[in-house]
Amino acid sequence: MSEPLKLGLDALVDVLKAAGEPTRLRLLALLDGGDLTVTDLTEILGQSQPRISRHLKLLGEAELIERYQEGAWAYFRLKQDGKAAMLVRALLKHVSENDPTILRDGERLSQVKRQRAERAQAYFSRNAAEWDELRRLHAADEEVDAAVIRLLGSQPIDSLLDLGTGTGRILELLSGLYRRATGVDASRDMLSVARANLDKSRITKATVRHADILNLPFEGQDFDLVTIHQVLHFFDQPEIAIAEAARMLRPGGRLVVIDLAPHTLEYLRDEHAHVRLGFSHQAMSDWLRKAGLDVEQVVDLHPGQQSGQGLTVTVWLARDPRRLMASQTSEGAEPTFAGRV
């Protein structure tokens, strides 16, 4: 049995005061189901925006929710860490899902999420042909996913950061391993797709944010796994993104890079905005080591015979060595290279 949470008397009273009001408890229950805007919450609860904003402000001051900006929109979600947030999550488990007010809120939340999914699907449909063409060029997504899972193993992940999250594929793929996750992307349209996919998969422990992966809005050393999936070939200086990813890692944390091996398909530059035509083992390993990481494994995934002139996908697994120094038997060990899997 887990140890009970211990808060000081004043802190406990503050949490109970913040949560112990009907509208604020309803807000907490809704935000437990994912990220929502003030407009979303106003529509669901049928209350004025100033009233909802005031309640959100009180919940934020009690450190029960967190706010982040995405362009003109402000999103809110239940705070992931901290004793106060853990206590509120425990309280929410005792809210009856059959309560008429909670049922009505849930129905309206489902409607908001359906509208979100329809907008995302419209964007996805407009670009589906382009994505399908690229997907046909390289190893099957399922094969790449399986390789990533094998490399990571079953070790639990406390916190995951997915850079260039796109449709949120990595957040969905690894949802059984992490306790909390954040995906960032520079495209607000893609973030809409990712949110819709997380809603569809009922993944509430992951959030997505608008951010520049070359200048991340997070404190360093906050994640024990960072992933960069098919992103670096869009950058003129991918080593900057790698260095920023390394800065995010806790001691002993891991970085997974998934990208294309060197190729000669020049048309990808003009038609799909690829800046780099893939990466060699040597170039990527040099960047990873320069960022202070040890390269542990490199796996090449070749396209099937039916792909014709296809593209090889390479997966690099690297680790921050600071926790591993004591257990190393030799310095400067070469990474393990695996062939096709």
pLDDT tens-digit profile of 167-190? 899 999 999 999 999 999 988 888
- With a CB cutoff of 8 Å and minimum separation 6, the contacts of 110 are none
Q: Which whole number is the average pLDDT over 22-34?
A: 92
Q: Which whole number is the average pLDDT over 129-147?
A: 76
User: What is the per-residue pLDDT for 123?
Assistant: 57
User: What is the per-residue pLDDT for 52?
Assistant: 94
- Within the chain, all domains assigned CATH 1.10.10.10 are found at 9-95
User: What is the per-residue pLDDT for 306?
Assistant: 46
In the predicted structure, residue 341 carries a pLDDT above the cut 50? no
User: What is the per-residue pLDDT for 335?
Assistant: 52
User: What is the per-residue pLDDT for 179?
Assistant: 94
User: What's the CA gap between 315 and 228, in Å, rounded?
Assistant: 10
DSSP letter for 326, please: G
User: What's the CA gap between 37 and 77, in Å, rounded?
Assistant: 9
Q: Which whole number is the average pLDDT over 84-107?
A: 90
In the predicted structure, residue 134 carries a pLDDT above the cut 80? no
- With a CB cutoff of 8 Å and minimum separation 6, the contacts of 25 are 19, 95
Give the mean pLDDT of the chain.
85
User: What is the per-residue pLDDT for 261?
Assistant: 92
Residue 247: exposure state from Cβ atoms within 10 A (0-12, 13-18, ≥19): middle
Q: For the ranges 114-123, 208-217, 228-237, which has the lowest average pLDDT?
A: 114-123
HSE-CB at 217 with a 13 A cutoff on CA atoms is 13
User: What is the per-residue pLDDT for 64?
Assistant: 92
User: What is the per-residue pLDDT for 21?
Assistant: 92
User: What is the per-residue pLDDT for 117?
Assistant: 76
Tell me which fold the domain 129-320 belongs to: Rossmann fold (3.40.50)
Q: Which whole number is the average pLDDT over 104-115?
A: 89
CA 40 to chain centre: 22
Tell me what percent of the residues of the chain surpass a pLDDT of 70: 85
In the predicted structure, residue 334 carries a pLDDT above the cut 70? no
Q: How many C-beta atoms lie closer than 10 Å to residue 172's C-beta?
A: 18
User: What is the per-residue pLDDT for 70?
Assistant: 64
In the predicted structure, residue 4 carries a pLDDT above the cut 70? no
User: What is the per-residue pLDDT for 81?
Assistant: 79
User: What is the per-residue pLDDT for 108?
Assistant: 92
In the predicted structure, residue 339 carries a pLDDT above the cut 70? no
Confidence of residue 329 (pLDDT cuts 50, 70, 90): very low
HSE-CB at 105 with a 13 A cutoff on CA atoms is 25
In the predicted structure, residue 6 carries a pLDDT above the cut 60? yes
User: What is the per-residue pLDDT for 300?
Assistant: 94
- Look up the CATH number of domain 9-95: 1.10.10.10
- Within the chain, all domains assigned CATH 3.40.50.150 are found at 129-320
pLDDT tens track for 274-285: 888 889 999 999
What sign does the CA torsion over 288, 155, 165, 272 have? positive
Q: Sheet harboring 178-185: ordered strands across?
A: 206-210, 178-185, 157-163, 223-229, 249-260, 313-319, 294-301, 336-338
User: What is the per-residue pLDDT for 133?
Assistant: 64
Residue 306: exposure state from Cβ atoms within 10 A (0-12, 13-18, ≥19): exposed
Which segments of the chain does DSSP mark as H helices, in order?
Answer: 9-19, 22-31, 38-45, 49-61, 83-92, 100-137, 141-152, 169-173, 188-200, 238-248, 267-272, 281-290
